[in-house]
Structure 1
Amino acid sequence: MNIAILALEGCFDTGLTSVLDALATANELAQLMGIQTTGYQVSVVGMRSEVHTAQGLHIPATPYRQSTEPDWVIVPALGYKMPDTLVPALDRPDVCDAMVALRDWARGGASIAAACIGTFVLAESGLLDGGEATTTWWLTPLFRQRYPRVRLDAHRMIIPSGKMLTAGAGFSHVDLALWLIRQNNPELASLVARYLVVDSRPSQGAYMISEHLARADPLIERFDHWVRDRLDQPLTLDAAATALAISKRTLTRRMRDTIGKTPISYIQDLRIERAVHLLRTSDHSVERIAGMVGYADGTTLRTLLRRRLGRGVRELRR
């Protein structure tokens, strides 16, 4: 499989190198273990003759116009983690050129993958329009605002959609690489994961900080504080709207437009977040924690943890 990794100026060092290391490990282990696979021919492609990472490392890159036609293109994250630095970076000449290159590669039949903030570059190209995608969890409000034609599900770690593939936050670059390896050979992907000590992480839900997302809108931040103060109580949309002196429709619309959730779903997220914290930091029983976060019994909490996070109580308490 011919894979081009698109390294843009200021790319996230770990994102770029973790993909390179995972694919190189797959090649080495396949040869060592006699596993039949086509292997991965990987090249680092740049829009300029010189590329420097966010930490200042110099990366030799094949100029885009001199690269061969790839089967897959991978876009690692840019090293700009917050909106005030990311948004200007998306208007840089080399990033705009990269969007043209991505569209050219797609027209040529290549599949395209992006992880973390690299998903913004892919979304800017328009290639995600009409499809599903995930992105780095703390930038979901910005992603929804800029790309309303993309069906965003930031809880999922990996989302394949047509010939596009997106992955969540920073270290999901490894999940992306393992997904690619798994499509060719599940045995090899499992072996690489064991050598690199990578656990299965189907969801970003366990890592999200709801309070951070709420800061994107003053109304949602007020709602967030109101809910946190009452997590052990029965909560309704009517009560929240009355407390905030707004209509239920306004609260629901602002939640949907900013973070893509209903108020009731957000309340459940906060309850799960608090429960996970208590499971990790206290000796309380599951039944007691369930009551502390507003659930009738431990069975309900166990079911929600498994459904939302892909993990049960035992795994969280390790």
Structure 2
Amino acid sequence: MKLDVLALSGVFDTGLATVLDTLATANELAAAQGWRTQPFDVRVVGLRRRVRTALGLQVPVQPAEVANGAVADWLVLPAIGAKMPPGLIDALATREVREAAAHLRERHAAGTHIAAPCIGGFVLAESGLLDGHDATVSWWLGPLFRERYPKVRLDESRMLVASGAFVTTGAAIAHLDLALWLVRQVSPELAAVTARYLVVDTRPSQAPYVIPDHLAHSDPLVARFELWARQRLAEGFSLDVAASALATSPRTLQRRIEAVLGRSPLGYVQDLRVERAVHLLRTSRVDVEVIAAEVGYANAVTLRALLRRKLGRGVRELRARG
């Protein structure tokens, strides 16, 4: 697999290194297993002659233009180092990001698949290539992503999303999930061995790491709804009652929550219930039936099913991690 890694100025050090180290490890293990050729032919390319990471280290790069007419199978765009909305918005307005977006369109037109882990997904979305596709992104940036790119079908609860010629992943360490996914496209067996050598398990979801109130605070009405709902988790949920308490209409409340959070008011209340239940499971030995009642469910069966569906984990696993 021919693979170019595009390093932009201020690239996230850990993300870049993780992708390169994982692919290098896969190459070494393939050689140890008797492969005649390395499975990954990797170049680090840049749009500038000199590229420095977010921590100031200089990255040796080759020109990003296609070398000798050869088209890479994949272009990987590691995250830039802007982690929070204000700095990210400034970074997306730079000339280099505009040039990167144009370069991604050229690569796509030439037949290259594009992988954009973490905040790299914002740069890919700036190109317009993600319009109409499924995608994920770092969970705390979901509201900003959804606002800027309404034509992208975002699900920030997922760790990795493949859609057409594009792959996006969640937050920082998901660079590793992406790299192992690329190895798996060449050889599932090699990917399994690489993961064992790196002592890592891939994670199917970002949901266990999400902090719901962090997302809600990006919008005043949603923040008020979050506070109101937290105080009534044990009660049955009614959109009409919530809207009346917040002095707005049910339609306005529903539309605002869906626009900011990408889920219904009831779906967000379920997130809050899951968060509270997980906290109680990890910090107490309270019976599951009691916890279910405290977070608004009639019995433990319903809560167990919800935890499994949302987090991919059961009560025993959650308590073992407490």
Q: TM-score, normalised by structure 1?
A: 0.97
Please report how far the alpha carbon of residue 25 of structure 1 lies from its aligned counterpart in structure 2 after TM superposition: 1.1
Is 1:313 the counterpart of 2:315? The answer is yes
State how far apart, in whole Å, the 1-side matches of 2:276 and 2:201 are.
23
Tell me the amino acid that sits aligned with residue 316 of structure 2: R
Q: Which residue of 1 aligns with 2:185?
A: 183
Consecutive unaligned residues in structure 2, runs of 5 or more: none
C-alpha spacing 1:38/1:278, structure 2 compared with 1 (3 Å): same
Q: Which residue of 1 aligns with 2:133?
A: 131
Q: Which residue of 1 aligns with 2:237?
A: 235
Is 1:211 the counterpart of 2:213? The answer is yes
Q: Which residue of 1 aligns with 2:169?
A: 167
Q: Which residue of 2 aligns with 1:96?
A: 98
Is 1:63 the counterpart of 2:63? The answer is yes
**1:115/1:176 contact within 8 Å kept:** yes
Q: String of CA shifts for 1:164-201, please: whole Å, max 9, x gaps.
A: 11101111111111111111211111111122122231
Please report how far the alpha carbon of residue 36 of structure 1 lies from its aligned counterpart in structure 2 after TM superposition: 7.8
State how far apart, in whole Å, the 2-side matches of 1:28 and 1:285 are.
49
Identity of aligned residues (%): 58
Q: Which residue of 2 aligns with 1:105?
A: 107
State how far apart, in whole Å, the 1-side matches of 2:89 and 2:12 are.
16
Aligned length: 318
Please report how far the alpha carbon of residue 65 of structure 1 lies from its aligned counterpart in structure 2 after TM superposition: 2.5
Please report how far the alpha carbon of residue 31 of structure 1 lies from its aligned counterpart in structure 2 after TM superposition: 1.8
Q: Which residue of 2 aligns with 1:26?
A: 26
Q: Which residue of 2 aligns with 1:48?
A: 48
Please report how far the alpha carbon of residue 202 of structure 1 lies from its aligned counterpart in structure 2 after TM superposition: 0.7
C-alpha spacing 1:66/1:180, structure 2 compared with 1 (3 Å): closer
Please report how far the alpha carbon of residue 5 of structure 1 lies from its aligned counterpart in structure 2 after TM superposition: 0.6
State how far apart, in whole Å, the 2-side matches of 1:4 and 1:315 are.
39
Q: Which residue of 2 aligns with 1:192?
A: 194
State how far apart, in whole Å, the 1-side matches of 2:303 and 2:29 are.
41
Tell me the amino acid that sits aligned with residue 39 of structure 1: P
State how far apart, in whole Å, the 1-side matches of 2:37 and 2:115 are.
21
Please report how far the alpha carbon of residue 35 of structure 1 lies from its aligned counterpart in structure 2 after TM superposition: 5.9
Q: String of CA shifts for 1:294-313, please: whole Å, max 9, x gaps.
A: 11111111111111111212
Please report how far the alpha carbon of residue 83 of structure 1 lies from its aligned counterpart in structure 2 after TM superposition: 1.5
Q: Which residue of 1 aligns with 2:299?
A: 297
Please report how far the alpha carbon of residue 69 of structure 1 lies from its aligned counterpart in structure 2 after TM superposition: 2.3
Consecutive unaligned residues in structure 1, runs of 5 or more: none
Tell me the amino acid that sits aligned with residue 271 of structure 1: R
**2:31/2:37 contact within 8 Å kept:** no
Please report how far the alpha carbon of residue 82 of structure 1 lies from its aligned counterpart in structure 2 after TM superposition: 1.3
Tell me the amino acid that sits aligned with residue 272 of structure 2: L
Q: String of CA shifts for 1:22-60, please: whole Å, max 9, x gaps.
A: 111111112223468861111111110111111111110
Q: Which residue of 2 aligns with 1:117?
A: 119
**1:137/1:154 contact within 8 Å kept:** yes
**2:31/2:38 contact within 8 Å kept:** no
Tell me the amino acid that sits aligned with residue 115 of structure 1: P
What secondary structure, in the 3-state scheme, does the structure 1 residue paired with 2:65 have?
helix
What secondary structure, in the 3-state scheme, does the structure 2 residue paired with 1:65 have?
coil
Q: Which residue of 1 aligns with 2:286?
A: 284
Q: Which residue of 2 aligns with 1:264?
A: 266
Higher mean alpha-carbon deviation, 256-265 vs 36-45, is at 36-45
Q: Which residue of 2 aligns with 1:73?
A: 75
What secondary structure, in the 3-state scheme, does the structure 2 residue paired with 1:26 have?
helix
State how far apart, in whole Å, the 1-side matches of 2:90 and 2:304 are.
43
Tell me the amino acid that sits aligned with residue 98 of structure 1: A
Please report how far the alpha carbon of residue 228 of structure 1 lies from its aligned counterpart in structure 2 after TM superposition: 0.7
What secondary structure, in the 3-state scheme, does the structure 2 residue paired with 1:27 have?
helix
State how far apart, in whole Å, the 2-side matches of 1:33 and 1:313 are.
40
What secondary structure, in the 3-state scheme, does the structure 2 residue paired with 1:170 have?
coil
Higher mean alpha-carbon deviation, 26-35 vs 198-207, is at 26-35
State how far apart, in whole Å, the 2-side matches of 1:228 and 1:283 are.
22
Please report how far the alpha carbon of residue 117 of structure 1 lies from its aligned counterpart in structure 2 after TM superposition: 0.6
State how far apart, in whole Å, the 2-side matches of 1:276 and 1:63 are.
48
CA root-mean-square deviation: 1.4
